[in-house]
Structure 1
Amino acid sequence: MFKNFISLYEKEYISALENLEKHPLEELLKIIEEAISQEKNIFVLGNGGSSASASHWVCDFNKGVSFNKRELKTRFFSLTDNIPIITAYGNDVSYDEIFVEQLKNLINKGDVLISLSVSGNSKNLVRAQDYVQSQGLKTVCITNNKPNLLKRNANLTISIPSENYGIVEDCHMYICHVLSQYISQR
């Protein structure tokens, strides 16, 4: 029974990777490399497991890329890494505003926002994306293959060809590793 589940999961994951459009990954690479070369901030956001993935992106780009290429300094930030600020805004303002309120203090012209989401409908991510776009910043969403709120106006959308939350989150990390290792090895 479990072996069958493993086989089915593997097949779905492999299918998602094989059917993942490569052109948007190339576009994201360009966005990230441009931001790095101009010393701009890249904010990576998510909720739940996607929040953990956002922190992992920060580690892989800030340590993995910068350590291997010491002259290349990356400026990745996850806005879920500071629990006190999240709970303060969540309690005193609204959970839907936890990212917007932080971004108001942090963003600069030319910065980039990357939203990792399974559903693409989390209000706090949608509001953050709308806010930074109103400030002229680029936005990227990496989410499932269904229509959703993040996709409606992101500058770049990467659609994971799956609705399985595990597969979508696995692909979040696949994209992180492909991009960070590519940049590191160039």
Structure 2
Amino acid sequence: MTTLFQHNLQQHLELFSRLSVLDDSVMGAAQAIADCLRAGGKLMICGNGGSAADSQHIAAEFTGRFIKDRKPLAAMALSTDSSALTCIGNDYSFAEIFSRQVAGLGRPGDCLLGISTSGNSANVIRAVEVARGMGMRTIGLLGRDGGKLATLCDCAIVVPAEVTARIQEAHILIGHSICGAVEQSLGLVPQHGEAE
């Protein structure tokens, strides 16, 4: 009898065997972020639930360290300030919790990475709309068919799966790959395959 772990692992392996089709969009997103940071901009990241945790995880890889010790890179998760989230949610609406922060903290040339396993999270959509209106580059880390965000973002990375947990597992691989590629593009670590 197949256990739940074996079932989940089989789904995971089957999905990951198909992710190479995302190479161009993942590397394109990494280049956009590297260009932003090189020009003095910052990366803002948002998402809900597990995607909020992923936002914080990815931001920490940029501001802390990833492949090796290097200077901190400007990145922030918009899900971390409980006072801002509850103020905006109470005084405006939950749909505005990220967009108000983007409007107040973002600048033209910054990047916004919106994470949504469905591609239809209303507050992420609103944040992307505001970011685009401000002249920021927008990247969607999405799942299923990409939802509404697939056509709103400058660069959409759509994980071709239906199960939320499998999409989130792929999102972390992609987030780590983007961070590593940004470090390489900025000359902070050796290129893949190069000696230290």
Q: Which runs of 5+ in 1 are unaligned?
A: none
Partner of 1:41: 42
Partner of 1:99: 98
Q: Would you tell me which structure has more helix in proportion to its own residues?
A: 1
CA distance in 2, matches of 1:24, 1:49: 22
Tell me the CA shift for residue 42 of structure 1.
Answer: 0.5
Partner of 1:185: 189
Partner of 2:77: 78
SS in 2 for 1:86: helix
TM-score (norm 1): 0.91
SS in 1 for 2:98: helix
CA distance in 2, matches of 1:133, 1:88: 24
Q: Is 1:39–1:74's contact at 8 Å kept on the other side of the alignment?
A: no
Cα distance, 1:14–1:111 mapped onto 2, change above 3 Å: same
Structure 1 residues 125-140: aligned runs within 5 Å: 125-140=124-139
Answer yes or no: is 1:69 the counterpart of 2:70: yes
Root-mean-square deviation (CA, aligned residues, Å) is 1.7
Q: Deviations over 1:15-58 (max 9, x none)?
A: 22221221111101111211121121101100001000100001
The code of the aligned residue for 2:10 comes to: K
Structure 1 residues 53-64: aligned runs within 5 Å: 53-64=54-65
SS in 2 for 1:44: strand
Partner of 1:110: 109
Tell me the CA shift for residue 179 of structure 1.
Answer: 2.5
CA distance in 1, matches of 2:116, 2:39: 27
Structure 1 residues 6-25: aligned runs within 5 Å: 6-20=5-19, 21-25=22-26
Partner of 1:164: 163
Equivalent pairs counted in the alignment come to 183
Q: Is 2:67–2:189's contact at 8 Å kept on the other side of the alignment?
A: no
Tell me the CA shift for residue 65 of structure 1.
Answer: 4.3
SS in 2 for 1:22: helix
Q: Which runs of 5+ in 2 are unaligned?
A: 191-196
CA distance in 1, matches of 2:145, 2:139: 16
CA distance in 2, matches of 1:29, 1:81: 23
